[in-house]
Structure 1
Amino acid sequence: MVFNFRHFCFLALGLSLFSCGKGKLSSTPQRPNILLMISDDHAVQAISAYGRPISKLAPTPNIDRLAEEGVLFTQNFCANSICGPSRATILTGKHSHMNGFVKNDRTKFNGHQPTIANILQEEGYQTAVIGKWHLNTLPVGFDHYEILNDQGEYNNPDFMTKDTTIQRMGYVTDIITSLTKKWLGDREEKKPFFLMMNHKAPHRNWVPAERHYRTFEQTTFPVPSTYFDAYEGREAAGQQKMNIYRDAYEGHDLKMVAGVGSDSLLYDPWPHVFMERMTPEEQEKFLAAYRERNDDFYTTPRTEKEKAEWKLQRYLQDYLACVKSVDESVGEVLNYLEAEGLMENTIVIYTSDQGFFLGEHGWFDKRWMYEESFRMPLLMKSPFDKKQGMVVDQLTQNIDFAPTLLEMTGVDIPDEMQGKSFLGLLDGTSQDWRKSLYYHFYEFPGFHSVRAHHGVRTDRYKLMHFKVEDRWEMFDLEQDPEEIHNIYGDPAFAEVQQMMHQEFEKLKKEYQVPEEAQSKNKSSKS
């Protein structure tokens, strides 16, 4: 191991990091521990530290603690907005075409390539992953794992370990929290650790914990101005099938029933991961919590527009109730670290695998390079923070996570990693930073019919290319943050368009993007 003394001295002198587990003192500064918390499909709109209208009605005080005591990244993005590929990118520090996991099909992630886990394991770190994995292979580089089977279930989920598969009774977010704390308590205290706590929530189909079935029952969330978007000038956007009021499954997603007084859910193609995971007593409590609101849908006259808005409220109430449990989990784990004397020498990160639509453009889900899907949360509290409440506005991406954490631990970054360490943005030493980001989504044909596309984003402009149709879109994010007006081909933006094309070609060359044939493989549902 080659230790980076500049950062080590900053760490030791700036924050007196001589703690060594449970508050005991040591004469030798310890390499920092890492706790990487990744939720699934958690939109920045649903984190109150980002100050969005929806989150003001459903605050996340525990996640916000990381911003208040550490750093909030305002311009953080994913490289491929879909579950498995994004996780592969986080682990490897490489774009999808380089790490080999481009979409959620039957491809198996190669965990034997350099990843943050197996590199730190080789450097003497204890490594563990608990919760969602979703990479079609068992984890490599982890001393311990207890992972959900594929997507996992919200209620009474199955977990896979190195030795067996076991069903654990309870709510998935709470179970993952308990297993995380147990591993922390059982670990070998003399070694630093790298721990991933990967939540299933708030992934589809947004089943809250029993204690939160009614948490937002009386809350009316703001309707996005683009909820009834007509998709003018954006042909691919008009061809998707992820509209809340047309495409969401009324039983599985929206928990709607057949009629007044009915306990029979409407269409649900996956009952084995939903109601069938509940005990009869749990099913009754669940149905009872929704009965009055479901009856109201049938007994109160509504226009089609009002029905569409009712479905939005149902979706947001459940989604944000799932977020509520995730926020409670973050608070419980942060409190545990503080109580055990671990916080001062632990890098704590909260992020998601991508963004998510909360009714913008009428949508749920992700996949697009449009902002709500492309942008992902990133909040960090670490020994390297210059001050509390720091805000980083530079363009960062999930390919940067692994290189950053390796530099923070003093470990050399492999040349094949394409991301850049953003430690210099935290300690003030960064002299140069990227001016643009590359994005690539591959899954078409696939679930939700989102066309394959790739593109480039700068701090102000975005250029997108839909490959099969050979169509282009460009947006001025300063003047049009909702991405309604496609300005590609507008003579007034000819110079900008030329500049964006040049930047696009530069990034494709830099990241070694192949001119691949369009795949015909269909994706899984996540």
Structure 2
Amino acid sequence: MLGVFPYAGYTQEKPNIIFILVDDLGYGDIGVFFQNERKVRNERSEPWIMTPMLDKMANEGAILTNHYTAAPVCAPSRASILMGVNQGHAHVRNNQFDKEIGDNYTMADVLKNVGYETIAIGKWGLQGKGKGPDWPAHPLKKGFDHYFGYIRHGDGHEHYPVEGIYRGSKEVYDGYELVEGLDKSYTGDLFTAKAKDFIISHQKEKSDQPFFMYLAYDTPHAVLELPTQDYPAGGGLNGGLQWLGTPGKMINTAFGEVDSFTYPEFATATYDHDKDENTPEIEWPSTYQRYATVNRRIDDQVGDLMQLLDDLDISKNTLVIFTSDNGPSRESYLPKEYVAYTPEFFNNFANFDGIKRDVYEGGLRTATIAHWPTHIKAGTVVSAPSISYDWMTTFAEVSGAAAPIRTDGVSLLPSLIGKGKQASSKIYVEYSQNGKVPGYDEFLESHRNKKRGEMQMLRKGEMVGVRYDIQSQEDDFEIYNVIKDPQQGNNLANENPKLQEEFKSIALRSRIADSGAPRPYDSSLVPALKGLKFKDGLVASSYKVQRAFIPSVLGKAISEKVVALPTIDEEGGDGNLVVWTGYIKVPESGKYSFSADRKKSHFFMRIHDISVIDGNYAIDDSPQGTVHLEAGYHPVKIYLLKEDSSPKLELSWAFENEPNKVVNSEYWFR
């Protein structure tokens, strides 16, 4: 199978892709991102954790130092990653755990469509309501050929499916089948062993077919349970974790004592607890020994997988991404006799303020590593800002595919391989939570105990806009230069009135309201463009597309012409995809409900960066969308991929509660 890498300048086999997503790992948890600095400083009141395997992976590949997650909590974050969209377009938002991911193309669908075998392993939590295993959004219904792991969100709080010390036994599924005999199977080990087993089997049976693996660990999230024993010697094909597949002894660490093993270097570690070098140091509290062990175990697990790729001689043709779903947590779910966990001990939030559920940098900035020998130069540092929903578009380009037009992401391939022009990521986050920013001493006083409520974050270049406890669209953003001021202490809002208005406009132009997650700015008017001159009509461009859906990358148009309005009769051209580009003139400020009669063709409509109508996935209905628009001109792109021998298109709108009517030629401009 061959695919074209547009920036590499040659044809290359489609690479295998492994996306490793860990749960609640902070930017400051990884050696090369932060912990190594603590070790060098050797400040005895500031303990550190070492991650040698992840450091090796990073040194051989790239680190992304300004990479963000789409949401500061797991379910919406994972939904945005898998769907390639920001939280203003995702079906799962806020704290909607176990809600179905939505009917649309996933990352797995995109890669499966170009020949990949796809597998999801680990935590899912996006299956929807219903009785297992027949959930509406089971991974096998969302583009994955295989699945092994925890379906339900709450199951991922336990790291022993049978002997869980926090909430008892949980259910692991292999496809639609419940897996029995998982005694003493620590989930991090279990998921790693299963991942290795799949890769080994795949290479034996289907080595000519690329694979995509979504490997979603449930650690270090939730209860800080320990493994049964030290990590097995070696790694890769003949060492490390091994899948045995025997009930009662499913993996080679499924024996010994549950929740028992602490890495020796942590079990004997001491620190200057009172910041007085004249008094004896004391041992780390067991809670932190546990956290460090869980963290180090992830490091060993990733190292084991990387060794396997080397042993099978597929490392050079495998792109591996390591990242986290959000910032660090203060949860440990341990019995009362344990010290409560706080990320202050290791400064898991690094040099930032904020943790999980915050939209300050500590809640959203994630330690991200990309490894792909011969393509990504060793020691690469990608400082350009990016966000987790960029990965769908990146994987699409790497595989010679195309992401669906719906995506909000851009390909990061130019930054990773150092060739071509990198498009700017559109970084936008929204989230709501009733808590407060922790009052940690390490945090700036202005951030401590700050009410969260409705929050937004966006970034442009070095500048980040943040809003907490939003009451209305008129609320100002705090504005920070996060390169010079990573802790976000110097609010530059008063010095940047134009940027303030731009941030407010971008926020409204990047999302669409969702009744399941209402926001105080849902009915705010999306600002029209000012100061431009317009001509009548739209530009209709025709493309020849060989895709099952409207792609985000179109190539060169076959033909272009000016037309009065978006209809098939007006368009002409020989392509099967038509794109109308221009502006829609809104006569009166208010709510507009758009609908498209498109006769079983794929359809998509975007106003500004708002996905107003998405009829690209299901083609049997008349798709609709509602948006509040300021009177004036708004940029628009309309797409129709013809699926019928006699295609049609009729675009209608209704203002407020008035009757629906066709958007005629007096409203279209270029």
Fold-level match, TM-score > 0.5? Answer: yes
Whether the 8 Å contact between 2:377 and 2:417 is mirrored in structure 1 is no
Q: Which amino acid aligns with 1:189?
A: S
Cα distance, 1:3 vs. partner? 4.5
Partner of 1:177: 192
Residues 363/403 of structure 1: CA separation in 2 closer, same or farther (3 Å cut): closer
Partner of 2:176: 163
Partner of 1:221: none
Residues 314/68 of structure 1: CA separation in 2 closer, same or farther (3 Å cut): same
Q: Which amino acid aligns with 2:319?
A: I
Q: Which amino acid aligns with 1:503?
A: F
Partner of 1:127: 118
Cα distance, 1:479 vs. partner? 5.0
- CA distance in structure 2 between the partners assigned to 1:461 and 1:363 by the alignment: 16
- CA distance in structure 1 between the partners assigned to 2:283 and 2:385 by the alignment: 35
Partner of 1:64: 55
- CA distance in structure 2 between the partners assigned to 1:91 and 1:310 by the alignment: 45
Per-residue deviation, residues 461-498 of structure 1 (Å, max 9, x unmatched)? 3322235445653434355432345x36xxxx523243
Partner of 1:331: 303
Partner of 2:210: 192
Residues 112/435 of structure 1: CA separation in 2 closer, same or farther (3 Å cut): closer
| 310-319 vs 370-379, which moves further | 310-319
Residues 106/58 of structure 1: CA separation in 2 closer, same or farther (3 Å cut): closer
Question: RMSD of the alignment, in Å?
Answer: 3.7
Q: What SS class does the counterpart of residue 130 from structure 1 fall into?
A: strand
- CA distance in structure 1 between the partners assigned to 2:110 and 2:366 by the alignment: 25
Cα distance, 1:323 vs. partner? 1.0
Partner of 2:24: 41
Per-residue deviation, residues 285-337 of structure 1 (Å, max 9, x unmatched)? 589x9xx99xxxxxxx999xxxxx99995554332221111110001111111
Cα distance, 1:115 vs. partner? 1.3
Q: What SS class does the counterpart of residue 336 from structure 1 fall into?
A: helix
Identity, % of aligned pairs?
A: 24
- CA distance in structure 1 between the partners assigned to 2:97 and 2:323 by the alignment: 26
Q: Which of 480, 485, 501 is 1:475 aligned to?
A: 480
Map 1:145-294 → 2, pairs under 5 A: 145-150=147-152, 151-152=155-156, 153-156=158-161, 158-167=171-180, 168-169=182-183, 170-187=185-202, 188-211=206-229, 282=258, 285=260
Cα distance, 1:411 vs. partner? 0.4
Question: What TM-score do you get using the length of structure 2 for normalisation?
Answer: 0.56
Partner of 2:463: 461
Map 1:49-128 → 2, pairs under 5 A: 49-52=32-35, 53=37, 57-105=48-96, 108-110=99-101, 112-128=103-119
The structure richer in strand per residue is: 2
Question: What TM-score do you get using the length of structure 1 for normalisation?
Answer: 0.70
- CA distance in structure 2 between the partners assigned to 1:55 and 1:134 by the alignment: 37
Q: What SS class does the counterpart of residue 174 from structure 1 fall into?
A: helix
- CA distance in structure 2 between the partners assigned to 1:203 and 1:106 by the alignment: 15
- CA distance in structure 2 between the partners assigned to 1:378 and 1:281 by the alignment: 33
Partner of 1:524: none
Residues 99/4 of structure 1: CA separation in 2 closer, same or farther (3 Å cut): farther
- CA distance in structure 2 between the partners assigned to 1:70 and 1:149 by the alignment: 32
Partner of 1:501: 501
Q: What SS class does the counterpart of residue 496 from structure 2 fall into?
A: helix
- CA distance in structure 1 between the partners assigned to 2:256 and 2:371 by the alignment: 42
- CA distance in structure 2 between the partners assigned to 1:333 and 1:76 by the alignment: 23
Q: Which amino acid aligns with 2:511?
A: Q
Partner of 1:32: 15
Cα distance, 1:2 vs. partner? 10
Cα distance, 1:459 vs. partner? 4.3
Per-residue deviation, residues 153-206 of structure 1 (Å, max 9, x unmatched)? 212453112232225222111111111111112223221100112111110222
Aligned length: 418
Note if 1:373 corresponds to 2:366. Answer: no
Residues 519/512 of structure 1: CA separation in 2 closer, same or farther (3 Å cut): closer
- CA distance in structure 2 between the partners assigned to 1:371 and 1:135 by the alignment: 26
| 96-105 vs 341-350, which moves further | 96-105
- CA distance in structure 2 between the partners assigned to 1:395 and 1:425 by the alignment: 10
The structure richer in helix per residue is: 1
Note if 1:343 corresponds to 2:315. Answer: yes
Partner of 1:396: 386
Map 1:476-491 → 2, pairs under 5 A: 476-484=481-489, 487=491
- CA distance in structure 1 between the partners assigned to 2:215 and 2:2 by the alignment: 28
Whether the 8 Å contact between 2:54 and 2:303 is mirrored in structure 1 is yes
Q: What SS class does the counterpart of residue 36 from structure 1 fall into?
A: strand
Q: Which amino acid aligns with 1:501?
A: E
Whether the 8 Å contact between 2:358 and 2:437 is mirrored in structure 1 is no
Whether the 8 Å contact between 1:45 and 1:55 is mirrored in structure 2 is no
Which runs of 5 or more structure 1 residues have no equivalent in the other structure?
A: 13-29, 214-277, 294-300, 304-308, 521-526
Q: What SS class does the counterpart of residue 319 from structure 1 fall into?
A: helix
Residues 190/196 of structure 1: CA separation in 2 closer, same or farther (3 Å cut): same
